[in-house]
A = this chain, B = another copy of it.
Amino acid sequence: MATENFLVQGFRAAAVNSGIRGKDRLDLALIVSDKPATVAGVFTTSLVKAAPVLLDMERCKTGKAQAILVNSGIANACTGEEGMRLARLTTAMAADALNIAPELVQVCSTGIIGQQLELACFQRGIPKAAQSLVGDGLADVAQAIMTTDTFRKIAVRTALIDGKPVKLLGMAKGAGMIMPNMATMLSFILTDAKIDHDLLQSVLKKVVAKTFNAITVDGDTSTNDTVLLMANGLAEHPPIAENRPEALAAFAAALEELCKELALLVVRDGEGATKLVTIRVRGAVTEAQADQAARTVANSNLVKTAFFGEDANWGRIIAALGRSGAQFDQSRVDIAFDDVFMVQNGLGQGAEVEARATAVLKKPEFVVTIDLHAGDGSKDIYTCDFSLDYVKINADYRS
């Protein structure tokens, strides 16, 4: 993709090395809107929330933001009052460099839990970033927020609203502590759409439930999960509003596509992942039970290591379903790997079918469809396999 795709009118960005992560890595970034934008955010549901999450939640309520300050390397989580003080102080430093009100600065951190930010890095990095802001700096920000990610995650969509193009650009980071219960660890979405805060918040929340909140790498929800969406209203359409369902639907659809693309990139880059697997549960008693069933399968280490071993091991899948809490009759369960019906009415379909199922598992991407035949509830959860590299990465990396 050419970098001109990574532009949204009215937004500028820069990423710099500030010394948090050695001398070379991009580790501090600013995203700035030329004018105050409508902001919406969804945040981790973990009881243990990082300082920047607490600050952003408070500021998001005002409905307006003009800048996002972000660093990788240190999560500023479990850092007590000093962590809150530093979160506030660094946003004030950014506000100062940008000549805007501190309340308009959102802040995100990702990295090691339990360490304090080093102020010197921000003193060094913030002015440098503020002076380097450019329209096509967003791709660098996507780079700067990576931790164990192996590639940067950035996606764009254009919606047509009242015949006018509206641009959406999003970025995200993974790659571990991923079963977001709000969002992947960090995702920033920028758009020139015109839309008010309450509506933007409500659309974002619905979209996140179906995208970022439907992925899992390791079943662990982070202390720092944050999705921030800034809409600066520079597009030429009349404002998106609840009484204009067509415009709202066009915007929501583009946002959902964007978030889904980013969410799947996070799973694809899950720590050690070699396969992207959709666990599609159908026929559950309720949607909540479908979610429970799909999530239990998607998080089962035994299922995920079988995927890594390219073993069409439906026994582990049905065992996970059995402990999931979802209600069903095991003699009615069907399980398919892509279009290969490996299990019908709770029974395996023999060696020939298994050979075809095994061929599906050799693919880098496939769908496991589970029909419980117990009701109408359905849910897709996106997961990855569980490889030797997951253990290597996490036995060595300090999160």
Interface residues of A (CB under 8 A from B): 44-49, 75, 77-80, 112-115, 176-177, 181, 218-223, 299-302, 305-306, 308-309, 311, 313-316, 318-324, 326-328, 330-331, 343, 345-348, 386-388, 390-392, 394-396, 398-399
Closest to A331 in B: B80
B390 x A301 contact (CB < 8 A): yes
Shortest CB-to-CB span from A86 to chain B, Å, is 14
Closest to A218 in B: B301
- Bound complex: CA A46 to CA B326 (Å): 10
B48 x A321 contact (CB < 8 A): yes
Shortest CB-to-CB span from A76 to chain B, Å, is 11
Closest to A221 in B: B323
Please tell me which one of the listed residues B219, B318, B398 contacts residue A48 in the complex, with CB atoms under 8 A apart: B318
For A218, the chain B residues whose CB sits under 8 A away are 301-302
Say yes or no: A47-B301 contact (C-beta < 8 A), given A306-B394, A388-B388, A395-B308: no
- Bound complex: CA A308 to CA B392 (Å): 10
Q: State the copy count for this chain.
A: 2
A316 x B113 contact (CB < 8 A): yes
For A302, the chain B residues whose CB sits under 8 A away are 176-177, 218, 220, 394, 399
Closest to A301 in B: B218
For A219, the chain B residues whose CB sits under 8 A away are 299-301
Besides A48-B321, A78-B318, A218-B301, 12 other A-B contacts (C-beta < 8 A): A47-B330, A48-B322, A78-B314, A78-B343, A219-B300, A220-B319, A220-B323, A302-B399, A311-B398, A313-B398, A387-B395, A391-B391
Closest to A222 in B: B319
Shortest CB-to-CB span from A383 to chain B, Å, is 13
A328 x B47 contact (CB < 8 A): yes
Say yes or no: A47-B399 contact (C-beta < 8 A), given A78-B346, A348-B78, A394-B306: no
- Bound complex: CA A177 to CA B306 (Å): 13
For A345, the chain B residues whose CB sits under 8 A away are 80
- Bound complex: CA A308 to CA B48 (Å): 24
Say yes or no: A395-B306 contact (C-beta < 8 A), given A47-B328, A320-B220, A328-B47: yes
For A390, the chain B residues whose CB sits under 8 A away are 301, 305, 391
Say yes or no: A346-B80 contact (C-beta < 8 A), given A48-B318, A314-B114: yes
Please tell me which one of the listed residues B48, B316, B348, B388 contacts residue A399 in the complex, with CB atoms under 8 A apart: B316
Please tell me which one of the listed residues B181, B322, B394, B398 contacts residue A46 in the complex, with CB atoms under 8 A apart: B322
Shortest CB-to-CB span from A72 to chain B, Å, is 15
User: Which of A77, A113, A302 has the largest number of chain B CB atoms within 10 A?
Assistant: A302
B319 x A48 contact (CB < 8 A): yes
Give 15 pairs: A residue, B residue, CB < 8 Å, sorted on A.
A47-B321, A49-B322, A78-B315, A78-B330, A78-B346, A78-B347, A114-B314, A114-B347, A114-B348, A115-B348, A219-B300, A221-B323, A223-B315, A306-B394, A387-B395
User: Which of A114, A308, A347 has the largest number of chain B CB atoms within 10 A?
Assistant: A114
A319 x B221 contact (CB < 8 A): yes
B395 x A309 contact (CB < 8 A): yes
Say yes or no: A305-B391 contact (C-beta < 8 A), given A220-B320, A321-B48: yes
Please tell me which one of the listed residues B315, B320, B321 contacts residue A112 in the complex, with CB atoms under 8 A apart: B315
